[in-house]
Chains A and B, each alone.
Chain A
Amino acid sequence: MSQQHQPELLSGGAMLIRALRDEGVEFVYGYPGGAVLHIYDALFQQTEVKHVLVRHEQAATHMADAYARASGKAGVVLVTSGPGATNAVTGIATAYMDSIPMVVICGQVMSHLIGDDAFQETDMLGISRPIVKHNMSVRNPADIPALVKKAFYIAQSGRPGPVVLDIPKDMTMPNQKFPYEYPKDIKLRSYNPNAKGHPGQIKKALQTLLAAKKPVLYAGGGVILGQASAELTELAQRLNLPVTNTLMGLGAYPATDPQFIGMLGMHGTYEANQVMHNADVIFAVGARFDDRVTNATKKFCPNATIIHIDIDPASISKTIMAHVPIVGLVKPVLQEMLHQLEKHGNTLDQAALGQWWQQIGQWREVHGGRFEHRTDLLKPQAVIEAVWRHTKGDAYVTSDVGQHQMFAAQYYKFDKPNRWINSGGLGTMGFGLPAAMGVKLHYPEAEVVCVTGEGSIQMNIQELSTCKQYGLGVKIINLNNGYLGMVKQWQDMNYDSRYSSSYMDSLPDFVKLAEAYGHVGIRVTSPEELEPALEKAFALKDKLVFLDIHVDPKEHVYPMQVPGGAMNDMFLSKTERT
C-alpha cells in the first residue's frame, strides 16, 4: 500500500470535528465544560468549523434548530455533560415536535465513572430518549466518524428529527489516535426512510381529488421540510384548488396568491375553517391533523373524504382516519401526481368548482382578518402589517409563543417557504431571539425579524450578549402589552378575567437594556411613532435594534375556535360567535 492512502491518525476529539467538516458543517453552537474540553481544544486547532458561544445552552439548540428550518440542513449543537446537556433538553424537544433535523453532541463523564453519580453526570441518553428521533453513545473512539455519519443520516432523512450523540470524555483523549476516514455512505438494515409513495394509491388519490366538488388542499410543515413548495403550488394552481396552510406550513403556498385562504385551526381564518368543515375532499399534504387544527375530532369535517400524504406512517390515521393514505416523501408523490395530470390533462368539474369558489368568496367577507384601527392605541395586528410592508414581505420572521406569534402568523403574508420560523408543536417561549440569531448568522444579508412579547423575550434575553459578540443585526419587535397575552386572553374568556400570574410587574426598561448590551433600543408608545421607528430600525442594517412597542393590552386573537366544537365553530370577536 502506498503511503498516501494511509488514513490520517487523529484523536477522538479531532475526528469528531473533522467528521463535522466532512459533513459540510459550518457552524456549531455550544458552550464548553469539563467533559468536552478535548473537543473544544480540537475545535481551537482548526478554522473550518466555527463555534458560536451562546450564553445558555437552550439558545444553542434554538439557533441550530432555526438554521435547519431556514436552510433544510441539520443544525449542530455542542454541550457539556450534566447541566449543559439538561439545559439543551427544551431545545431538543422543540426540534422533535416540529421534525427539525439537528445533531446534538453532548459530553459525558469518563466511561468508567458512568453510573457512579460522578460530577456533572446525567443519563442524557435516558433523559433525551422520548424527545429524539434517535440517540447513541460512543463506546470506542474509532467509531466516531461512523457514528457522526449515522447521526446526520438519521436526523436528515425520512421524517427529520434531532439525534443526540453522547460522548464520554475518554473517547476524545488527545493522546490516543486512530485512523480517520469519513464514510461516504451508510445503510442501516433497520431503517429505510425514503418512500416514493405507492403508485396505486397515488392514482386513487388523484381520482378522488378530481371527482371532488368542494376540494381543499391542506398543507403542513412537511411540505416545507420536504422542499416541495414548488410542486404543491403548481398542483394547486393547475387544479384551481383553495389552499390552507397550517401554522408550520405558512409559506408553503404563497400567502398573497388569491387561491390562498389563510391559516386554518384554532386561530385560523373564518374562510379556511369553513372550507375545511364543508369540504367533500380534503387533500392533506405533510400535515398531521394536530389538535390545534382539528378542534374536536368527533365533529371534524363530517362530509370529507380524506387523502393524506405523509412520510411518517404513524401520522396517518392517528387522530383522523384517512381514506386514501399515501406513505411517502411529499415531493416525489406530488411530482408523480403532476406527471399523471400532464399525461391525461384532467380537471375538476368546473361548474361545481366555480360554485365552491363563490361560496368561499362569501366566507371571505365575513371576517376578512379585520381588527379595530385606532389613532390613540397601537394594535398589535397593525404593527405586524407595518413590519410586513417595511420588509416587503421578504424577511425571515421568527417568533416566540403567545398572542404575538398568532398575530405574526395571521398578518405577515409569507410568500416563500422557510421564512416563518416558530415553535409550533412544543410552543417554546424563549425560542424567538436565538432562532433569529441562527438565521442571521447564516444569511447575514437577509432581513431577520424576531416578533416577540415582553414575556417570551425575557426567557432568553441573555442572548443579546451573543448578538453583540457576533454582530448579529436582527430586528426585535417586542409587542409589549404588560401581560402574558395569551394566558390573559384565556383568563378573560374562561376565568372571569381573574389574571392569575399573567401580569408582569417590574418590567425592565428594554431600551436601556438593549443599549447596555451595545445595541440600539427604540420605544414606540403611540401609532404615529411606529412608521418612523420602523424606518429607522430597518435603515440600521448591521445593528441589532430592539423595538419596544407598547400595544393595546386588551386585544385578543381572533378568530378563535370554540373549544370542543367543530372546525367552523368560532369566536370572531369579543362579541360575535358563529
Chain B
Amino acid sequence: MTAKADEPVKGNSLWADAWRRLLKNRAAIVSFAIIVVISLIAIAYPLVSRYVTHFTIHENHNCLRYEPPGMRGVPREYPRFFSERRHAFADVDTDNDGHVTVEELSAMLRRIEFAHLDRNGNGSLNARELKRAPRSFLTDDYDELVAGFDVNNSGAVDLDEAESFVDIFPYGEAGVFVRRYDGDISGGLSASEFPGVPKPQRFWMGTDSLGRDVATRVVYGARISLMVGLLATLVSLLIGVTYGAVAGYFGGRVDAVMMRIVDIIYGLPYMFLVILLMVIFGRSIFLIFVAIGAVTWLTMARIVRGQVLSLKSLDFVQAARSLGVSHAGIVFRHLIPNALGPIIIYATLTVPAVMLQEAFLSFLGLGVQAPMTSWGALASEGASPGVMTNYPWLILFPGGAFAVTLFALNFLGDGLRDALDPRVRKD
C-alpha cells in the first residue's frame, strides 16, 4: 500500500513477544524492580557505609545491646576508639609527630584493654583482676598464672608482661581502622584524618545482642542469601541442564538408566543428607553452594530432558547432524538454546527455593558461620526462645526482608512463566 510494501514483513520473535507480555504484567515488573533495588542495596551499601558489621562489639561496652528500632545512639563500629573521649588524637599520637601510626593505635588499644582489667588502677594486675580477662588460660590457678607472667618479680602483671594475653589482635584491628580513614594513603592518620567522636544516629532496625546495628546486619545477610541463591542455582543449572540434555539426546537405554537414577535420588531424604554433609565437612560457604546445588538439579534435569526429547527429532537437528556437527555441538549449540524458555522459568523459581534451603541450614546453625551472616542465620538469632518475645525486631526485620524477596522472586517466576509459555497462561 505504502512505500513500506517492499520491505520484508518483520515477524515477532519468541523473545520479543515474551518481553511484551512480561511488560504488561505489572506485578511481575514491580517484583523485578524490588529485586533490583534489594540487590543494589546489598551490593552498594557496604561500599558507602562506615559500619563494619563483622566487628563484634567489645564485651566491656554493652550499653547498646537490644536497643529497639528507631533508638538513637553512637555507631559502635570501633567502640574502643570512640567510646572514651580522652583518647583524642593527642593521646594516641604518643611521639607527638602529628601522625598516628598503626603501631601507636595498637599500643593504645592494648593500654585501654589493660586499663579495663586493672580495676584498682594501680598499673598492674593481681590474681583477682587476671580472672576477669576475657581469655581462657590453661590452668584455673590464677596465683600460679600471675607468677608465670610476672617476669620482673614485682608480684603482679604489668602492661609489658600482659602483652601475650591482653588483646592478641590489636594490630589487625588498628590496621583496618587506619586504612579506612587514611585519605592520603600515607600509612597513618593525620590530625585532620583522625575521626572524632561520631554524631549519634538512629538504628532504624534496632541493635542485636552484641550491640550491632540490625539494619547493617540485614544488608550483609542479603549479600550472602542472594549470593547463595544465585550460585547454587548456577550449580543446579549446570548439572541439571547437562544431565537432562545428555539423557534426552542419547535416549534409549542411556536415557532409561540416567532417569532411573534421578528417580532414585528423588526418593532420598536429601535435606537430611545435606545436614549430614554440612555437619561433617565443616561449614564453608563453598560447600553450601555445592551441597544445595547438588540436590536441586533433579527437576531441572527432567524438564530439560523432556524438551530435548521433543526437539531432537525436528528438522533443524537433522540439518545440523548432516552438516557434521558433533554431538556436543548439537546439544549445546542447538538443543539447549531452544529449550531456554522452560530453563529460565524454572531457574527463576529455583532461586527462592535455594535461598530457603540455605536459610533452613543457617537456621539450624549449619549454614554460614559468624562473623558472616545470612537472613536465615539472623532469623535463627531472632527466633530463639526468650529473644523473640522480648526483642521481636530481631526476627521481624530479617524475616520481613527475606519474605519480601521471596515474594518478589516467586511473582517474577510466575510472570516469566506466563510470558514465555503462553499455553499455561491464566486467560
Binding partners A and B: no
Query: B-contacting residues of A (Cβ < 8 Å)?
Result: none
